[in-house]
Amino acid sequence: MQLLKDKVVFLTGGTEGIGYECAKAYHKAGARLSIISHKEDSLQQCQGQFFGDDIHYILADVSRAADIARAIVETVAVFGRIDVIHNNAGVSNPSKTVSDTTDEEWDKVFNVNVKGIYHTAKYGIEELKKTQGTILNTGSLVGDIGQELHAAYTATKGAVNALTKSMALDYAPFGIRVNAVAPAGVWTPMLRRWSNQQPQAAHIEEYLDGIHPLGYCPEGDVVADACLFMISEQARFITGCILPVTGGAELGYRKYLEQQVKDGKAVLSVDIKAKQA
């Protein structure tokens, strides 16, 4: 059974990582895709390996209102409708405390991770009203529990959680569902870049495996499977939900970090304490 047969999905950040895995899962489930990315090289690379009459690529930046207004109009012109908006585009930099974060860095992460959702809703909601469609936001576990050295990023993901719930209430009268998925660690190009920026980068893989009670840091396909469920009719009575796709990380995250600190192996917090000493 194709869960998304003939559905049109507007997917931001769909050429890499979780977004790309979602694009493949949605297409396999029968969806027609409008894939948005602000990276021209990534867009071209993806076009070369993932293509078809039911896949349309758009170069656009979610932080720019005009880009998203144009992308929504273009998607409707190509496919005639929009059933799903998946706000997956996001950035994680900088890896800093609040006081070390510059104005420019703060604004950039908020403009992409939060204002990007504002733009897709502002310019796409009328299309979703026509189809009684759904919105899915890619959040993060750290939006709920926090994370050292990622003040701006965690703040945006906390905002995504609250925004998801408020939008769910606002748009429920129109039959529109709004949900979010909240992964912990997931191996993506962005996570690998993040890993290289950490104080003890050589131990990051062990750290990421360790924070998940199921024993490993997954690839993006596990999140894509959850996303497919959340935008399908299988989840037709679910709205305002922040779905953890974490391998149980929220259950053992702090306990693992405490043990790492005791053993002198922590890859994040020990360095902060050392700087403060």
* Residue 216 annotated as catalytic: no
- End-to-end Cα spacing for the chain: 59
Structure tokens at 188: 């993506």
- Residue 15's nearest CA partner among 41, 44, 46 is 46
Quote the CA–CA distance of 151 and 93 in Å, as a whole number: 10
Q: At what angle do helices 151-171 and 115-131 cross, to 10 degrees?
A: 20
Residue 124: CB partners within 8 Å, gap ≥ 6? Answer: 10, 68, 72, 82, 85
Catalytic: which of 26, 57, 153, 171?
Answer: 153
What φ, ψ does residue 216 adopt, rounded to 5°? Answer: -155, 155
Q: Is 268 helix (H, G, I), strand (E, B) or coil?
A: coil
**Active site positions, annotated:** 153
